[in-house]
Amino acid sequence: MPIMKKIYKAHILFTKEKDHFEVLENGYVAVGADGRVIAVSARLESLECKDAEVIDFGNKLLIPAMNDMHVHAPQVHNQGVAMDLELLPWLENYTFPEESKYADVHYAERMYRRFLHTQWLFGTMRSVVFGTIHTESTRLLMKLYQEAGMGALVGKVAMNRNCPDALCEDVEAAVRGNEELIAEFNRPDALVRPIITPRFVPSCTPELLKACGELANKYQLPVQSHLSENVSEIEWVAQLEKESTSYGDAYNRYGLFGQTPTIMAHCVWTHGSELELMKRNGVMVAHCPTSNFNLSSGIAPVRSFLDEGLRVGLGSDISGGHDLNMFRMLVYAIQVSKMHYQLDHGKAFLTLPEVFWIATKSAGSFFGKVGSFEPGYDFDALVIDDDILHPEEYSLLHRLERYIYLGDDRQIVHRFCRGQEVPEPASMEDSGKRIS
Ligand code: GUN
Ligand code: FE
């Protein structure tokens, strides 16, 4: 029996199953000294822990924290910029020039602190993050996450073709940089760990993809990349990797497609053998609805992914996406699925409990036991004070729905990651500035 640390009392809502919310009015969650949930119950007596301190959040809501499963920290300066281009010209004209600036660690520090602060504001306690090719700036980003007490899988980006010289790194240097970060950060159960990050097939020679696969295998590290986002990109990959039967197969041939835990952003055009391979290999999809709108990439068939049993999470994909607020990402995911439903009535649109489950328990499984309040789960939680949203007029479920649709960071009054309260991280700028 773990040592009891604290009991939190509030209106508790979470999604153990994907089609409905667990709702505990004036419920209790007991958290051990290791930051993990011991028990959740509607009644204090049933927790059998009379001596533990009870922290009463009164009429507030207690919900699992958000997970951003695909985000580019070094694109924060471009948030809301160049939203009228498709993927390939957008990368060349805006994204690559911005990422080149991260050779300068001082610039990186200012931007990375801004980025983390915004994630904190919106209650995102875990992320799967792209850095840049720069080892020093990526180390800094990892240290900032550690310092903040927020969880992250952080990737030093691998790229060596079809990019400006400033973002091209030879294979040996890429391996060396990765191994430095692995030596420093790869601890079992650490909140901040490295993830192998080939940018996407067009940016990586076969030698670099092979080296990435070997690193993932040697150190048993997870992998992230982009997959089947845009039609021109997919045609380009077919030309570059002629022997592959699909874009996904190009990763698979190098051990980068589920040989270790793998998450692929977008999958807008994934179908047929690529989908089968993802299923077989347990590859998770990071669905990024705002990015898919902004870069005019298309509509990912998330209902089909769920029907096929694929694992799915949600990503902001800053700065293809413009919004770091993951609650709004839930709304966008629902809305885009309703557009899809209008095109194909055979595929029902996504509902709120389904999308909440995708964003919390389903996404959280990439980090271990994260995203639920069931016993054994990391206590990653947010306390929501929705007093300005007239809570007295609504059921608890509608209060949560209204918070998701209408709320923002100002209603998040406590944030926890693995049982620890996460205070506001230091920024180098006026932290009064809110980016919503
Ligand atoms: N494909 C390769 N790089 C990127 C990127 O930075 N953002 C998005 N959305 N897609 C990519
Ligand atoms: Fe991306």
219, 187 contact by CB (below 8 A): no
**What pLDDT sits at residue 171?**
98
Q: Are residues 27 and 139 part of one domain? A: no
- Comparing CA positions, the residue from 416, 326, 424 lying closest to residue 57 is 416
Looking at the structure, do residues 54 and 70 belong to the same domain, yes or no?
A: no
Is the pLDDT reported for residue 422 higher than 90? yes
Question: Of 364, 387, 408, which residue sits at a domain end?
Answer: 364
Other C-beta atoms within 10 Å of 57: how many? 17
**Please, are residues 167 and 176 in contact by the beta-carbon 8 Å criterion?**
no
Tokens of 366: 């990439």
Q: Hey, what are 296's tokens?
A: 């005019």
Q: Closest ligand 1 atom, CA of 233?
A: 1
pLDDT of residue 47: 85
> 431: pLDDT confidence band, cut at 50, 70 and 90?
low
pLDDT digits (tens, 9 = 90+) for 90-117: 999 999 999 999 999 999 999 999 999 9
Ligand 1 test: best mutation among 68, 71, 72, most atoms within 8 Å of CB?
Answer: 72
Question: pLDDT at residue 1 above 70?
Answer: no
- How far is residue 425 CA from its own chain's centroid? 19
Q: Is 434 domain-assigned? A: no
pLDDT tens digit string along 280-336? 999 999 999 999 999 999 999 999 999 999 999 999 999 999 999 999 999 999 999
Residues 281 and 388 in one domain: no
Cβ(296)–Cβ(231) below 8 Å: no
- Counting ligand 1 atoms within 8 A of each CB, the residue from 95, 203, 293 with the most, and so the one to mutate, is 95
User: Phi, psi at residue 278, to the nearest 5°?
Assistant: -60, -40
Question: pLDDT category, 427, cuts 50, 70, 90?
Answer: confident
**Calpha distance 388→393 (Å, rounded):** 12
Q: Is residue 436 a part of any domain in this protein?
A: no
Residues listed for the chain: 436
CATH code assigned at 287: 3.20.20.140
> What CA–CA distances, in Å, run from 251 to 128, 158, 305?
19, 14, 19
Backbone angles phi, psi at 301, to 5 degrees: -80, 70
**Quick check: 347 and 303 in contact, CB under 8 A?**
yes
What is the share, in percent, of the chain residues with pLDDT greater than 70?
Answer: 97
Residues 178 and 35 reside in one and the same domain? no
Q: Do 348 and 413 share a domain, yes or no?
A: no
Which structure tokens are listed for 60? 């507030």
Terminal alpha carbon distance of the chain:
42
How many angstroms from the chain centroid is the CA of residue 65?
Answer: 11
User: Which SS3 state, helix, strand or coil, does residue 22 take?
Assistant: strand
For the cut 90, the answer to whether the pLDDT of residue 428 exceeds it is no
At residue 344, does pLDDT exceed 60? yes
Q: Are residues 170 and 249 in the same domain?
A: yes
Q: What distance in angstroms lies between residue 416's CA and the mean position of ligand 1's atoms?
A: 30
Over 90: is that where the pLDDT of 264 sits?
yes
CA atoms of 106 and 101, how far apart (whole Å): 10
pLDDT in tens, 48-92: 776 789 999 999 999 999 999 999 999 999 999 999 999 999 999
Which H or E run contains 194? strand 192-194
Ligand 1: centre distance to CA 154 (Å): 16
Q: Which atom of ligand 1 is nearest to the CA of 75?
A: 6
| Inside any domain, residue 435 | no
How remote is the CA of residue 237 from the centroid of ligand 1, in Å?
14
3-state secondary structure of 5: strand
Mean pLDDT of the chain: 96
Q: Domain check: are 99 and 166 in the same one?
A: yes
Evaluate whether residue 48 is within a structural domain.
yes
Q: Is residue 24 part of a domain?
A: yes
CATH number, residue 56: 2.30.40.10
Q: Is the pLDDT of residue 252 over 60?
A: yes
Residue that terminates a domain, selected from 341, 364, 387: 364
User: What pLDDT is stored for residue 421 in this prediction?
Assistant: 98
Residues 48 and 97 in one domain: no
Whether residue 256 is found in the same domain as residue 181: yes
In a domain, 432, yes or no: no
Predicted TM-score (pTM) above 0.95: yes
pLDDT at position 435 is 54
pLDDT at 432: 56
The CA radius of gyration of the chain, in Å to the nearest whole number, is 21
Ligand 1 proximity of 233 Cβ (cutoff 6 Å): no
Dist. CA 193–CA 212, nearest whole Å: 16
The reply to whether 430 falls in a domain is: no
Distance CA 118, CA 138 (A): 18
Give residue-wise pLDDT tens across range 118-143. 999 999 999 999 999 999 999 999 99
- Per the listing, tokens 């053998």 go with 273
CA pair distance 184, 53, nearest whole angstrom = 36
| C-alpha 41 – ligand 1 centre gap (Å) | 43
Query: Same domain for 316 and 286?
Result: yes
Residues 59 and 72 in one domain: no
Instruction: Tell me if 79 sits within 8 A of 319, measured CB to CB.
Output: yes
Q: Which atom of ligand 1 is found nearest the CA of 99?
A: 6
**Ligand 1 touching residue 229 (CB < 6 A):** yes
In tens, the pLDDT along 15-32 reads 999 999 999 999 999 999
Closest CA to 268 of 252, 247, 249, 254: 247
pLDDT band for position 151 (cuts 50, 70, 90): very high
Task: Write out the residue range of the structural domain in which residue 115 sits.
Answer: 66-364
Into how many domains does the chain fold?
2
The answer to whether 146 and 191 have CB atoms below 8 angstroms apart is yes
CB atoms within 10 A of CB 185: 18
Ligand nearest to C-alpha 292? 1
Whether 80 and 33 map to the same domain: the answer is no
Q: How confident is the model at residue 2 (pLDDT cuts 50, 70, 90)?
A: low
